[in-house]
Structure 1
Amino acid sequence: MSTFVHMEASLIVLKVDLPKWTSMPKFRSMGWQSRMSTSGVWTSMSSLISYKGGREEHDSISKVAVLSFFLPNCSQSSSQSEIYSTHLEMLAFVQINALLWTDLLAAYAMWMTMAYLTDAWKLNLKHAAAIVNLFWGMVAIMPVGLQFVVDTFMGYYWMVLLSSFSYIAGLGFLSMSTPPDLAAATATCSAYDPECIGQGQKILFFTAFALIAVGFSGHLVSVPQFMADQDSHSNRRDSSLRHLVISFMVIHVPIVGAFAIYYIKPWSMRYGIPAICTLVATLIFLTGSCSYRTYRPYGSPLTVLFRVFVASASKIFQKHPRDSSHLYERRDDYYLIPHTRRLRCLDKAAIILATQPLQQQENNSWRLCRVTEVEETKSVLCMIPICMTLILIGVVSSIGTSFCIEQATHMNHEVGRITVPLPILVWFYTLAKQLFGKLNFQIAELTRYGPRIGIAVSMIFGILCSITAAKVETRRLGVVKSHGLINKPEETVPMSMFWLLPQFLLLGGLEGIAESSIDSFLVKQVPPSIDPCMVRFCVAFLGVGSIGGVLSVYVVGEISGQGGKPSWFQDTLNKSRLDNYYWTLAALSAANLVLYVLVSFWYAYKDSRLEDYETAELFDEDHVQLI
């Protein structure tokens, strides 16, 4: 990379073979980490060849990318034009980032919902945890469908707008569902008690949850990619300035706001302030609508999967040809995947019927698919066993948004004479997630086995997190009993909430390592055309784990209550035995680790050495010309 940075030229033209470019591991956008922002050179390259998150803007075999550098011999008019373009990009950057700021505020507000359900609604522990886990599970699952809608129909701009409106409505309804807001209209009391929460408020609450989940998922799908579409500048000094803006405005401003929200006691205000901020941010976003770069939908990789399933089902009674070379493939195409003998039932999608002219069959892509498309579908299906082992990671991760928050709410928040807000634990969790994720990514790139080992390490973190949580909860229950607080759930337990810090750090490490490892794993094992699809699928499996946490709590509660014994999950936290549940999660996580190792040995790994060779070949001198 430094070879390009230090070239003494004001203009470089690279003739890039697009398939090789999109197969390069370091430049394939995987959803969790941006690989095109290593320097201004790569940022400019990505925008000029219009490679956005796996999207191919053009169909020709080779593309020409023109990279402009800021050198002393640049003309004055060129500099003025570039400065003006930079200002426009920075303005769009701020307008779009306003939505991300409100996302963080809303996320902190939603993190506190467990406490709201147990304190104001007086729901039992199982019921409140089920609502919260279902919400976060849907936030992780819905991007699969929303990404398909974006790629096929709407485009990123309209998804940003739709999800923002959903956000506004959801947060507004959530604020209105609190007792004080509708007390006069519903003729109920205004206190935060179950008697003051009527049927109308409950309907508003659950409607709000659905709308907020759509808003969250829509922003996850559209905002980062839409922001990347606005970036076409290659000035490294500009990137440094932008990095400073990100560090201060995108990180510090929302965190300060989130900490401030914690000190606002009325729940109507805690939910109302993010609603107002989201409305303002959406209006700011709309002011730049005429200047944003937008692209037409380019089609979804899921469509290819559906076509292969339909085509193979339509030829279910056809016999396989003896030679795979008789299967349909466009040999002159620039992107080919060789045929494999796994899942041969799908090969029928590429069978050429002798009863119809080939040209007629080619015109109907739902009846005849290429071998490459069939192999892409096989790659997705073969990933399912490994993805299934990710579900339990989601189950362990779900305790961070439910039980851990409930524990911390009723523990001592004081450090000396200072009262520390609860979001500090969430901040440490986020910090650990980022640090462990970056560290794991650097280590995983050193060896071809790195991603596989990383996923196993994340499962070990899950085991350690569950064990730590169990031991801390055992200690907390001991303090509760010694101070006679078993029947006083509203009282503060005289035990510092920082006892929970290790499990929050382990949770952050668990998610950071898991996401980074899955990212690297997909880069090396999945064809580039279905990268975005598989990223969403893997995140969805983690979301299934969050929803699976609801089922695990119910099953464990039923089993533990057999034989006349008290269930581990009672109405309040002080009466429950969460420590036993955490020990159960530790045992299940250990069994899941063994299962992952077995599945990992069974999985037919793709050899990435050929891909690395092609990557090196891309930057051969024949592909670079100086003007």
Structure 2
Amino acid sequence: MYNYSITPHGLVLLVISEVTIPLKHRTLPFFLALYIINIGEGGHRPCIQTFAADQFGDHLPSEKATKRSFFNWWYLGIVLAGTTATLIVPYVQGKYGWGWGYGISGVVVAVALVVFLAGKSTYRQEAPVGSSVTKVAQVVVAAFKKQRLSHENRFQLCLIEAGESSQAMTRNLAHTNQFRFLDKAAFIDEIDMSLDKKDSWRLSTVNQVKPVKILFRLIPIWLSCLMFTVVIAQIHTLYTKQASTLNRTIWSNNHELQPASFQVITGLTILAAVPIYERLLIPTAKHLTGNPFGITMLQRIGCGIFFSILTMMISALVESKRVRIATQHGLIDRPKTTLPMSVWWLVPQYVLMGISDVFTIVGLQELFYDQVPEEMRSMGAAAYLSIVGVGNFISSALISLVQVITAKHGDEWLKGDNLNKAHLDYFYWLLACLSGLSLVFYVPLAKGFIYKKLQSDGEVMII
């Protein structure tokens, strides 16, 4: 995923950086500011996208169709802001100081907050429905307590309880036979019959069980997409290390681009690809498939995973060429010497990374918004974001594991001090193979996935 992070703690760091304070006294406020932004991001990111999508009503066909395009343009706006920040903020920091860079970021977020609050009276807001996490936990615990209960020795189903509105019933989810063990949470047994008051940790309604089934249905998809986020994590680490060894001069020998600046190529690719996808690929796909949305959300995610495999293959081939040039010019043992190879050789892998982002990241955003119950959409957004977070942890763990294993055999793949003597291309091939396995795992899951459906009026539920 294209990484974006405008720092609301910028003003705090501006003050810290501009005042002469001993290092030991600067460390605590600095990390405190970082922790504050992490807490803010954790509450902000899962909610803001869901809140924005909720402004389009599902009950109006025109707005429901527009919502499918919303996720494309939403991501386009994020990438546009991230690309602009990547170009402007580092320049300001390098020319005028880090304090100015952080200060600009803080002011921008403050202005955004004012604009957001100015429109408060115009927003559609869903009524609070309580903790979704607690409701899910209650269904799972109730099903576990009744795991020995069979269909024959139950008395009846708990269909509805006091407090469930008729409006909620009109948008009742259709029943599925997947994860039937969860149905036992709604079975009424002797203990339930003996209680004066319903125990929510022993008995759930059928309507409470159905949303949990939907969440369980998404878990395999979540797992199968982890490898994709491992691949995109390389854009901020190993790609930058590659760029640092290549010739980055442009226009004249006096001007050299920073290695991290090439991440902008991925952002620019996304800015170009989203309109093409929206205005060209979707209409073409509609004509070919007959699907009113062009392709399904899961097909879109699968396309992105395929492009991520292709990205790693191209990255491996370019890295092999880089090492060959280093060998031919006798620069293997001179890691700080710029190789006579243009950094623009890396452009294809940055571009492919952007294309895979447009397919998979936007597809995941839409899937985890659309396929969870309405009252759990913030949880769905958090689940999507957790794929990215866990993928980054797996990437770090995989790099450490590869280092340990290859070091034992005397031929390290990822030498930190000399990339010319490393085997970064081997690591890229490894990621391509692992991504291929994840795609093999993903395809049958996607084919067997049952999309969320609402129960029709008058339809009889059979368990």
Q: TM-score normalized by structure 2?
A: 0.73
Match of 2:97 among 260, 269, 280: 269
Do residues 320 (structure 1) and 150 (structure 2) align? yes
Do residues 279 (structure 1) and 106 (structure 2) align? yes
CA shift digits 1:63-121 (9 cap, x unpaired): xxxxxxxxxxxxxxxxxxxxxxxxxxxxxxxxxxxxxxxx95748xxxxxxxxxxxxxx
Contact 1:329 1:372 in 2 (8 A): yes
- Match of residue 69 from structure 2: none
Q: Equivalent residues in 2 for 1:27-426 (5 A)?
A: 106=6, 164=8, 169=12, 171=13, 176=17, 185-186=22-23, 209-223=34-48, 258-263=86-91, 266=94, 269-270=97-98, 272-281=99-108, 283-284=110-111, 292-293=120-121, 297-316=128-147, 319-322=149-152, 326-330=156-160, 333-354=169-190, 360-362=196-198, 364-417=199-252, 419=255, 421-422=257-258, 425-426=262-263
SS of 1:583's partner is helix
- Match of residue 586 from structure 1: 432
Contact 1:390 1:541 in 2 (8 A): yes
Distance 1:521 1:297, change over 3 A: closer
Contact 1:472 1:500 in 2 (8 A): yes
CA shift digits 1:315-335 (9 cap, x unpaired): 455x23439992111396223
Match of 1:575 among 405, 416, 421: 421
Q: CA deviation at 1:563?
A: 2.9
Q: CA deviation at 1:548?
A: 0.5
- Match of residue 64 from structure 1: none
Distance 1:263 1:384, change over 3 A: same
Identity %: 24
Q: CA deviation at 1:520?
A: 5.0
Looking at structure 1, the residues matched to 22 and 452 of structure 2 have their Cα atoms a distance apart, in angstroms, of 66
| Count of residue pairs the alignment pairs up | 420
Q: CA deviation at 1:560?
A: 1.9
Do residues 428 (structure 1) and 265 (structure 2) align? yes
SS of 2:97's partner is helix
SS of 2:100's partner is helix
Q: CA deviation at 1:392?
A: 0.4
Aligned AA (1:383): L
Aligned AA (2:208): E
Q: CA deviation at 1:215?
A: 3.9
Aligned AA (2:102): A
Q: What is the alpha-carbon root mean square deviation over aligned residues?
A: 4.4
CA shift digits 1:493-533 (9 cap, x unpaired): 33222211111111111121012333454577544443442
- Match of residue 65 from structure 2: none
Distance 1:471 1:201, change over 3 A: farther
Looking at structure 2, the residues matched to 573 and 202 of structure 1 have their Cα atoms a distance apart, in angstroms, of 32
SS of 2:450's partner is coil
Aligned AA (1:432): T
Q: Is 502-511 or 275-284 further displaced after alignment?
A: 275-284
- Match of residue 68 from structure 2: none
Q: CA deviation at 1:396?
A: 0.4
- Match of residue 117 from structure 1: none
- Match of residue 467 from structure 1: 313
CA shift digits 1:24-71 (9 cap, x unpaired): xxxxxxxx9xxxxxxxxxxxxxxxxxxxxxxxxxxxxxxxxxxxxxxx
Distance 1:335 1:290, change over 3 A: closer
Q: CA deviation at 1:452?
A: 3.0
Distance 1:283 1:592, change over 3 A: closer
Q: CA deviation at 1:551?
A: 1.2
Looking at structure 2, the residues matched to 172 and 410 of structure 1 have their Cα atoms a distance apart, in angstroms, of 32
Distance 1:415 1:369, change over 3 A: same
- Match of residue 92 from structure 1: none
Q: Where in structure 1 are there 5+ consecutive unaligned residues? A: 1-31, 33-102, 108-163, 187-198, 233-245, 615-627
Contact 2:155 2:188 in 1 (8 A): no
Q: Is 203-212 or 549-558 further displaced after alignment?
A: 203-212
